[in-house]
Structure 1
Amino acid sequence: MMKITSALLVHLIISLLNQMQGNESTLENIVGFRRLNILDGYSCPVNNTIKVENQENELLCLILCSKLSSCNGVFISPDSKERCVMCSATFFTIDITQELSTTRQFYKRIRRSRNNFTTSGVSVYSFAKQDLNWTNAEENCKSYGGHLAKIISDEENQYVVNVSPSSHIWIGGYGVGGPVDTFRWWDGSRLVDGYDNWSKGQPWTNEPDPTCIALWTSSGQWGDEVCHDKRHGVCKFE
């Protein structure tokens, strides 16, 4: 029985299928998968379950997902009759402190985009159970393999608002306070070059000391706050 190792990236599924069918393969047709270990042991939400199959091996599960445009990933249980669960969910919320069986594994779909592979929209979120300053909240996320959330769309912002346990939560942005163009995400990218959702009059702090971005769930918008304030943080894993 073929096993998919945790490090394996399956690059050429659609390409191989096209070749088997006598069709010319193009880079745009290439689909692959990558393990998203943080979801091991979890399940696809019922409303997002597209199809359940008992394929002969794991590779056939991935091939089946690659044929379904709405499939963003596959939960694979090698020892279960429901070996392959095709899932359309893009967002998951988990408790990263909870230890689950790793028998069920999740493979996230990736797609070819010109010269690079780009992942599907699957993102996983977890909220810290204690209030922390921004730096400690980021370190807490990193200790589990993630970062404070870099929010890149209205859809993602609203999802985080809907599942947040707190009215003010740290997300992954920071700046020197005041000018919008000083704010960056944890990866160094500038907020002004992508999505943002500042509340009216924000950012407001004119101090030279760094300030950090909090998502205010009552309005769904962002404000800058003193980084040493203690808030819940939302970690993001991709």
Structure 2
Amino acid sequence: STGMRILLMLFSVLQFAECSCPSGYELVRNGECRKMESRVSHYYDQALGEAIQQCQSVQGHPVIIHDDQDGTFYKNKEYDNLILGLTCNVNKKRWEWIDGSAVDYKPNSGSYDKELDGECATGCVWYIADSKQWNHKCDHTTTSFDLWCVIPVDQPALKDCDNFENDSDDGACYQIGKATSNWQDAQMECRQYGANLASIHNYQENSFVKKLALADGAVNGVFLGGTITGKGKEYGWVDGSNWDYFNFYPGFPIDGLGECLTMDTLGSSGQWMNVDCNTKQSVACVRQPNSSYADVCSTGPWKEGQIIYTPGYPYDASVQCDFFLTVDAGRKIELKIQLLEANTCCDHLIVSDSYIGGNILANLTGTASGNTYTTKSSNLMRVSWIPDGGVNVRGAMFSYRAV
């Protein structure tokens, strides 16, 4: 069914988001994963084609360099004849990169063959020799090359409702996700593709979510974005919207039964129950079309167990932000990284013991998931997201608890 295809696609998006880069690759810059794939022996006039084919097998391409920062990155690596993704555009009679982009960067004069400035020729390969000179050769003799492949990290993009279902009555975009082991994981799954667990504000929205859930096979209920926010029975929506509608079964919510909210999709009117937050349940996600999440730094306050996101997650990681976390006096803080995606050239997540002047527990970059860091004695922790551009990466999401 269409719903099943969408679910499978969204599951693959989530899996990729958790991994970011394939095994052995480093997330370096501009959301690019890079790795030296292999040392190969090729004819000069066939080397580029072979390199393109090999990199395509991992959804990547050979090295493309557009600025001095990338030029320096590869200049500082150890290799022997690093293949460049330069090819001849026979119509324009000029060299260009294999993705069709212009040659807008060259090393210093004298550090590359002069043919790069003239008309191009077919059957050639450009490479960086171990001397760091950009050389090219076009004959049918063999030599050994080092092949680096570059894999762009796919980022979520907002365009109308994309693969979400559109409710024409309220204009919101909805999707039913696979069952997760608890409410927090459900919210994390929604956030992976720019949504939140669903908030519901009228009868029409409630009916739409129920019908969509049944159509996608979620017959045992779905998590909604409501949780108890204070003492007693006061509920709130995780997306911060107003609590202006409810559809509880008579007698619900029941004290002590649980603090999270689920919709009964088998019932005739999609009524709600409060359940234990560790219940295994399918997921109802919602976002607005072409919406974006706040790219401003929030001051909190933050709560234990809450999933915390860097500003703009997962669409924009460019805004610096400090998160000041606290637990009861006499306890320590354990931080868990749910997901980190940062360019190793530029972006860092720094975890410090105490708010100011404390020891640095971790200076993180690249990709991470599941890492934990604990203060030595303090009940205070500072988590600082310091991007230098945050280009084409998601940023970070994390949570904390007292130990």
TM-score range, shorter chain: 0.3 to 0.5
Which protein has the larger Cα radius of gyration, Structure 1 or Structure 2? 2
Which fold has the larger relative contact order, with Cα–Cα distance below 8 Å and residues 6 or more apart in sequence?
1
